[in-house]
Protein backbone atom coordinates (compact mmCIF):
# COMPACT_ATOMS: atom_id res chain seq x y z
CA UNK A 1 0.00 0.00 0.00
CA UNK A 2 1.89 3.02 -1.32
CA UNK A 3 0.64 5.95 0.77
CA UNK A 4 2.94 8.47 -0.92
CA UNK A 5 3.23 8.33 -4.69
CA UNK A 6 5.52 10.01 -7.15
CA UNK A 7 4.17 8.94 -10.51
CA UNK A 8 6.94 10.40 -12.64
CA UNK A 9 10.13 8.34 -12.31
CA UNK A 10 12.12 10.89 -14.26
CA UNK A 11 12.04 14.47 -15.50
CA UNK A 12 14.35 16.37 -17.82
CA UNK A 13 14.42 20.18 -17.78
CA UNK A 14 16.61 22.76 -19.48
CA UNK A 15 18.84 24.94 -17.35
CA UNK A 16 17.07 28.16 -16.37
CA UNK A 17 13.58 26.71 -16.80
CA UNK A 18 11.15 25.67 -14.08
CA UNK A 19 11.19 22.12 -12.70
CA UNK A 20 7.92 20.85 -11.25
CA UNK A 21 7.95 17.62 -9.27
CA UNK A 22 4.66 16.13 -8.15
CA UNK A 23 3.59 13.97 -5.25
CA UNK A 24 0.24 12.46 -4.23
CA UNK A 25 -0.74 10.91 -0.93
CA UNK A 26 -3.63 8.85 0.32
CA UNK A 27 -3.40 9.08 4.11
CA UNK A 28 -5.41 12.05 5.40
CA UNK A 29 -3.62 11.75 8.76
CA UNK A 30 -0.39 13.13 7.36
CA UNK A 31 0.50 16.38 9.19
CA UNK A 32 3.72 17.43 7.61
CA UNK A 33 5.37 17.05 4.23
CA UNK A 34 9.02 17.23 3.24
CA UNK A 35 11.13 17.10 0.11
CA UNK A 36 14.53 15.46 0.12
CA UNK A 37 17.23 15.48 -2.53
CA UNK A 38 19.58 12.54 -2.97
CA UNK A 39 22.83 12.28 -4.89
CA UNK A 40 24.38 8.86 -5.60
CA UNK A 41 26.39 7.45 -2.67
CA UNK A 42 24.96 10.05 -0.29
CA UNK A 43 22.06 10.08 2.12
CA UNK A 44 18.93 12.15 1.45
CA UNK A 45 19.36 15.86 2.18
CA UNK A 46 16.44 17.94 3.45
CA UNK A 47 15.27 20.63 1.02
CA UNK A 48 12.02 22.16 2.15
CA UNK A 49 8.92 21.28 4.14
CA UNK A 50 5.33 22.36 4.63
CA UNK A 51 2.81 21.93 7.41
CA UNK A 52 -0.68 20.71 6.58
CA UNK A 53 -2.09 24.05 7.83
CA UNK A 54 -0.33 25.93 5.03
CA UNK A 55 -0.67 25.81 1.26
CA UNK A 56 2.68 27.27 0.25
CA UNK A 57 6.22 27.54 1.54
CA UNK A 58 9.10 29.22 -0.22
CA UNK A 59 12.85 29.05 0.30
CA UNK A 60 14.99 30.70 -2.33
CA UNK A 61 14.61 28.86 -5.62
CA UNK A 62 12.42 26.18 -4.03
CA UNK A 63 8.68 26.45 -3.43
CA UNK A 64 6.39 23.71 -2.18
CA UNK A 65 2.64 23.87 -2.77
CA UNK A 66 0.11 21.77 -0.86
CA UNK A 67 -3.45 21.07 -2.00
CA UNK A 68 -5.04 19.19 0.89
CA UNK A 69 -8.37 18.60 -0.79
CA UNK A 70 -6.62 16.91 -3.71
CA UNK A 71 -4.02 15.26 -1.44
CA UNK A 72 -1.36 16.62 -3.76
CA UNK A 73 1.85 18.54 -3.32
CA UNK A 74 4.41 19.83 -5.74
CA UNK A 75 7.95 21.17 -5.62
CA UNK A 76 8.87 24.01 -7.95
CA UNK A 77 12.51 24.83 -8.67
CA UNK A 78 13.09 28.15 -10.42
CA UNK A 79 15.45 28.60 -12.15
CA UNK A 80 16.73 25.05 -12.51
CA UNK A 81 20.50 24.57 -12.38
CA UNK A 82 22.70 21.62 -13.44
CA UNK A 83 23.58 21.03 -9.78
CA UNK A 84 19.90 20.29 -9.12
CA UNK A 85 20.24 17.03 -11.03
CA UNK A 86 19.47 14.36 -8.43
CA UNK A 87 16.69 12.08 -7.20
CA UNK A 88 13.97 13.94 -5.32
CA UNK A 89 11.87 12.22 -2.69
CA UNK A 90 8.59 13.42 -1.28
CA UNK A 91 7.97 12.33 2.33
CA UNK A 92 5.14 12.68 4.80
CA UNK A 93 4.74 12.42 8.55
CA UNK A 94 1.71 11.29 10.56
CA UNK A 95 2.27 11.89 14.24
CA UNK A 96 1.81 8.74 16.28
CA UNK A 97 2.21 9.45 19.96
CA UNK A 98 5.69 10.91 20.19
CA UNK A 99 7.09 9.04 17.20
CA UNK A 100 7.22 10.59 13.76
CA UNK A 101 8.25 8.21 11.01
CA UNK A 102 8.79 9.42 7.46
CA UNK A 103 6.80 7.76 4.68
CA UNK A 104 8.60 8.24 1.38
CA UNK A 105 7.54 8.18 -2.23
CA UNK A 106 9.56 6.24 -4.81
CA UNK A 107 11.41 9.31 -6.04
CA UNK A 108 11.73 11.33 -9.25
CA UNK A 109 15.07 11.59 -11.02
CA UNK A 110 15.56 15.17 -12.21
CA UNK A 111 18.07 15.90 -14.94
CA UNK A 112 18.83 19.52 -15.71
CA UNK A 113 20.41 19.87 -19.12
CA UNK A 114 22.56 22.70 -20.45
CA UNK B 1 30.19 19.60 13.13
CA UNK B 2 29.99 15.92 12.16
CA UNK B 3 26.71 14.80 10.73
CA UNK B 4 25.36 11.27 10.93
CA UNK B 5 28.08 8.65 10.61
CA UNK B 6 27.35 5.10 9.47
CA UNK B 7 29.65 2.10 9.33
CA UNK B 8 30.58 0.15 7.39
CA UNK B 9 29.90 1.82 4.03
CA UNK B 10 29.70 -1.47 2.15
CA UNK B 11 29.19 -5.05 3.26
CA UNK B 12 28.82 -8.42 1.55
CA UNK B 13 27.21 -11.28 3.47
CA UNK B 14 26.04 -14.78 2.69
CA UNK B 15 22.44 -15.94 3.03
CA UNK B 16 21.68 -17.08 6.56
CA UNK B 17 24.36 -14.96 8.17
CA UNK B 18 23.82 -12.15 10.63
CA UNK B 19 24.89 -8.53 10.22
CA UNK B 20 25.27 -5.49 12.48
CA UNK B 21 25.23 -1.97 11.13
CA UNK B 22 26.23 1.05 13.21
CA UNK B 23 25.15 4.67 13.38
CA UNK B 24 26.40 7.70 15.29
CA UNK B 25 23.85 10.53 15.32
CA UNK B 26 24.51 14.17 14.67
CA UNK B 27 25.73 16.09 17.69
CA UNK B 28 22.76 17.26 19.75
CA UNK B 29 20.38 14.66 18.34
CA UNK B 30 18.86 12.03 20.61
CA UNK B 31 16.54 10.08 18.31
CA UNK B 32 17.68 7.55 15.70
CA UNK B 33 15.61 6.01 12.92
CA UNK B 34 16.59 3.30 10.47
CA UNK B 35 15.37 2.99 6.88
CA UNK B 36 15.83 0.38 4.17
CA UNK B 37 16.08 1.58 0.58
CA UNK B 38 15.81 -1.12 -2.07
CA UNK B 39 16.92 -0.38 -5.60
CA UNK B 40 14.52 1.97 -7.38
CA UNK B 41 12.40 2.47 -4.27
CA UNK B 42 12.04 5.13 -1.61
CA UNK B 43 13.39 4.53 1.89
CA UNK B 44 11.13 2.31 4.03
CA UNK B 45 10.91 2.91 7.78
CA UNK B 46 12.27 0.06 9.91
CA UNK B 47 12.15 1.47 13.46
CA UNK B 48 12.93 4.47 15.64
CA UNK B 49 14.81 4.62 18.94
CA UNK B 50 14.65 7.21 21.68
CA UNK B 51 15.91 6.92 25.26
CA UNK B 52 17.28 3.47 24.40
CA UNK B 53 13.83 2.13 23.58
CA UNK B 54 12.07 1.28 20.34
CA UNK B 55 9.31 3.89 19.95
CA UNK B 56 7.82 2.85 16.63
CA UNK B 57 8.30 0.01 14.22
CA UNK B 58 7.56 -0.37 10.54
CA UNK B 59 6.42 -3.47 8.69
CA UNK B 60 9.61 -5.50 9.07
CA UNK B 61 9.97 -9.02 10.51
CA UNK B 62 11.52 -9.77 13.88
CA UNK B 63 14.77 -10.69 12.13
CA UNK B 64 15.36 -6.95 12.19
CA UNK B 65 16.27 -5.69 15.63
CA UNK B 66 18.03 -2.68 17.02
CA UNK B 67 19.59 -1.05 19.98
CA UNK B 68 20.34 2.46 21.17
CA UNK B 69 23.17 3.16 23.57
CA UNK B 70 23.38 5.81 26.31
CA UNK B 71 25.48 8.02 23.99
CA UNK B 72 22.55 7.91 21.48
CA UNK B 73 24.43 5.80 18.93
CA UNK B 74 22.52 2.89 17.49
CA UNK B 75 22.91 -0.53 15.92
CA UNK B 76 20.72 -2.36 13.44
CA UNK B 77 20.94 -6.15 13.51
CA UNK B 78 19.56 -8.44 10.85
CA UNK B 79 19.50 -12.20 11.43
CA UNK B 80 19.11 -15.05 8.96
CA UNK B 81 19.84 -12.84 5.98
CA UNK B 82 17.84 -13.29 2.80
CA UNK B 83 18.74 -12.21 -0.71
CA UNK B 84 15.90 -9.69 -0.48
CA UNK B 85 17.65 -7.93 2.40
CA UNK B 86 20.14 -6.52 -0.10
CA UNK B 87 19.61 -2.77 0.07
CA UNK B 88 20.97 0.56 1.22
CA UNK B 89 20.38 0.98 4.95
CA UNK B 90 20.03 4.58 6.05
CA UNK B 91 20.23 5.98 9.54
CA UNK B 92 18.55 9.30 10.34
CA UNK B 93 18.88 11.29 13.54
CA UNK B 94 16.85 14.12 14.98
CA UNK B 95 15.90 15.74 18.25
CA UNK B 96 12.82 14.22 19.80
CA UNK B 97 9.55 15.50 18.26
CA UNK B 98 11.50 17.58 15.76
CA UNK B 99 11.11 16.94 12.04
CA UNK B 100 14.65 18.00 11.19
CA UNK B 101 15.98 14.59 10.20
CA UNK B 102 19.62 14.31 9.15
CA UNK B 103 20.53 11.24 7.16
CA UNK B 104 23.80 9.39 6.97
CA UNK B 105 25.27 8.19 3.68
CA UNK B 106 24.10 4.68 4.37
CA UNK B 107 25.48 1.15 4.41
CA UNK B 108 25.18 -0.81 1.18
CA UNK B 109 24.44 -4.43 2.13
CA UNK B 110 24.70 -7.14 -0.48
CA UNK B 111 23.51 -10.64 0.38
CA UNK B 112 24.83 -13.41 -1.89
- As a whole number, mean pLDDT of residues B85-89 equals 97
Buried b (16+ CB within 10 A) or exposed e, A3-29: ebbbeeeebebeeeeebbbbbbbeeee
Mean per-residue pLDDT over chain A, rounded: 94
Residues of chain B in contact with residue A98, where contact means CB-CB under 8 angstroms, are 50, 55, 96-97
- As a whole number, mean pLDDT of residues B72-101 equals 93
Q: Give residue A85's pLDDT.
A: 97
| Cis peptide, bond prior to residue B108, ω within 30 of zero | no
Share of chain B above pLDDT 90, in %: 90
In the three-class reduction of DSSP (H, G, I as helix; E, B as strand; rest coil), residue B77 is classed as strand
Q: Considering Cα of A42, then B10, then B8, then B58, what sign does the dihedral take?
A: positive
| Chain B residues with at least one Cβ partner in A under 8 Å | 4, 33, 35, 40-45, 48, 50, 55-56, 58, 90, 92, 96-97, 99-106
Amino acid sequence: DQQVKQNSPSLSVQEGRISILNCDYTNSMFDYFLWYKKYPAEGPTFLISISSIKDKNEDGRFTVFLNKSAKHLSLHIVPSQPGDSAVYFCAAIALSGTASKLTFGTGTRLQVTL
Amino acid sequence: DAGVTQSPTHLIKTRGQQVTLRCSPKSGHDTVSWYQQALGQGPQFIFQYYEEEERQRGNFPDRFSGHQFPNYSSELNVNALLLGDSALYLCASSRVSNYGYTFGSGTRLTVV
